[in-house]
Amino acid sequence: MSDPGGFGPDLVEVFGPSQQDGGPELVQLLTPEGERVHHDEFDHDFSAEELRGFHRDMVLTRRIDTEATALQRHGELGIWAQLLGQEAAQIGAGRALRPQDYVFPTYREHGVAYCRGIDPLDLLGLFRGVDQGAWDPKDNNFGLYTIVIGAQVLHATGYAMGMQRDGVVGTGDPDRDAAVIAHFGDGASSQGDVNEGFIFAASYNAPVVFFCQNNQWAISEPIERQTRIPLYQRALGFGFPGVRVDGNDVLATYAVTQAALQRARDGQGPTLVEAYTYRMGAHTTTDDPTRYRMSDDLEHWKLKDPIARLEVYMRRNGLVDDQYFADLKAEADELGHHLREGCKALPDPQPMSVFDHVYTEMTDELAAQRDGYAAYLASFEGAGH
């Protein structure tokens, strides 16, 4: 690259090959080889129970993803947004939440949904085409999946502003203080709404954690098309801290997200967490990544598999035995059965129901349209076709 002419470091220095593994700023507590490493700022002690919990969550989340992908291949789902490879980013973030915190997901946050206690079967309806989100956001403080890229980041910021007005920020009461987490991806970081969310959150010091899973690909567009600096560094320009964490390291993701959420709950404002990860699957089941990325890339990231590294660590330290894995496999199989049988049994909505809930109360003109359609349908009864 040519001389930048005194306007700062050469871009290759900040966004060059050295970034491929996340760069020197990457917060990591568990290496891809399963070595526990320490970090000055974000270290955290995990009990054996917690480690097994993370592992179990990731295995079950991967099973949700695998089953849903298979259901799409069998024609039971119209489409599925896969999360393969992002289990640690989602479980780490999901387990850092307290019940009073609130989540604004994209349409890929199946692991976070699972952490919030949503029945994974409820996630399938949208992809099967029987609903647009079956759960009540108020039940688990988990918003509906948002499909317009980045739109929910503003909703998260506004929700956090509402929390400020409700007096549930910075009181010092751990059961009361709350925060919001906004999920989005590297592609969304280019959206105006995401950047406006950053600006509003900074301006009002809103208790929101911007959790960006940088999985390197926005369908076929590589991260280099979205940004010329590491995403977490953008936070500085908005006036709040940014951290890049190894998104394939569930321990580091948990520790960093937990710290960011606590900062927000304490009234210290927003944080950008860039979970550096990789979309090992396709964007969705309709996508074909072989058209735009090298298989070498995938092989490289397979070595950093989020589940494998924790498994190595737990085995090496005697935290698990064969019975643990047998029990977990049985649990995953049961979950798979639940999803397969449950998906096929999901009822189609009634065509007449489309008129319901357009408004909180049906308008007279919509009721007239519904009645006209009902009369039309009734005209076929007994007509012999």
Partner 1 sequence: MSTQKVSTGSTQRITLAKGLNMGLRKAMEDDPKVLIMGEDVGKLGGVFRITDGLQKDFGEDRVIDSPLAESGIVGTAVGMALRGYRPVVEIQFDGFVYPAYDQIVCQVAKMTFRSQGKSKMPMVIRIPFGGGIGAVEHHSESPEAQFAHTPGLKVVACSNPIDGYWMIQQAIACDDPVIFLEPKRQYHADKAELDESATPDPLFTSRTVRAGSDATLLAYGPTVKTALKAAEAAASEGKNLEVIDLRTLSPLDMAPVFESVRRTGRAVVVHEAHVNLGLGAELSARITEECFYSLEAPVLRVGGFDTPYPPSRIEEEWLPDLDRVLDAVDRSMEF
Residues tagged active-site: 279, 283, 292
Under rule CB under 8 A, residue 371 binds partner 1: no
| Partners of 208 in beta bridges | 180
Q: How far is the CB of 14 from partner 1 (least distance, A)?
A: 28
Under rule CB under 8 A, residue 151 binds partner 1: yes
Which strand (E) or helix (H) includes residue 123? helix 120-128
- Residue 95 and residue 49 in contact, taking contact as beta carbons nearer than 8 Å: no
Under rule CB under 8 A, residue 348 binds partner 1: no
Angle value at C-alpha 48, between 40 and 244, nearest 5 degrees: 35
Under rule CB under 8 A, residue 101 binds partner 1: no
Location of structure tokens 């909505």: 349
CB count within 10 Å of CB 201 equals 31
Burial of 131 (0-12, 13-18, 19+ CB in 10 A): middle
Contact region with partner 1 (CB under 8 A), list: 21-29, 81-89, 106-114, 360-368? 360-368
Q: Distance between CA atoms of 83 and 61, rounded to whole angstroms?
A: 9
Under rule CB under 8 A, residue 136 binds partner 1: yes
Q: Distance between CA atoms of 234 and 130, rounded to whole angstroms?
A: 39
Contact region with partner 1 (CB under 8 A), list: 92-100, 188-196, 263-271, 295-303? 188-196
Closest to 183 measured CA to CA, from 208, 217, 218: 208
Name the residue nearer to partner 1 (CB basis): 203 or 290.
203
Candidates 157, 205, 213, 253; binder of partner 1 (CB under 8 A) is 157
Q: Distance between CA atoms of 15 and 49, rounded to whole angstroms?
A: 39
Q: Which residues contact 59 (CB under 8 A, 6 or more apart)?
A: 307, 328, 332
DSSP 145: P
CB count within 10 Å of CB 148 equals 11
Q: Distance between CA atoms of 105 and 90, rounded to whole angstroms?
A: 10
Q: How far is the CB of 218 from partner 1 (least distance, A)?
A: 18
Under rule CB under 8 A, residue 270 binds partner 1: no
Candidates 159, 184, 276, 278; binder of partner 1 (CB under 8 A) is 159
DSSP 349: P
Contact region with partner 1 (CB under 8 A), list: 35-43, 51-59, 81-89, 150-158? 150-158
Under rule CB under 8 A, residue 55 binds partner 1: no
Candidates 35, 321, 356, 371; binder of partner 1 (CB under 8 A) is 356
Candidates 85, 158, 269, 270; binder of partner 1 (CB under 8 A) is 158
Under rule CB under 8 A, residue 47 binds partner 1: no
Under rule CB under 8 A, residue 156 binds partner 1: yes
Under rule CB under 8 A, residue 259 binds partner 1: no
Q: Mask 304-343, x = binds partner 1 (CB under 8 A)?
A: ----------------------------------------
Residue 175 backbone phi and psi in degrees, to 5 = -85, -10
Closest to 273 measured CA to CA, from 143, 204, 179, 168: 179
Enumerate residues 197-236 that contact partner 1 by CB under 8 A.
197, 199-200, 203
Which strand (E) or helix (H) includes residue 102? strand 102-104
Q: How far is the CB of 369 from partner 1 (least distance, A)?
A: 11
Name the residue nearer to partner 1 (CB basis): 286 or 363.
363
Number of residues that bind partner 1 (CB under 8 A): 43
Q: Which residues bind partner 1 (CB under 8 A)?
A: 104, 131-133, 136-138, 143-144, 146, 148, 151, 153-166, 192-193, 196-197, 199-200, 203, 356-361, 363-366
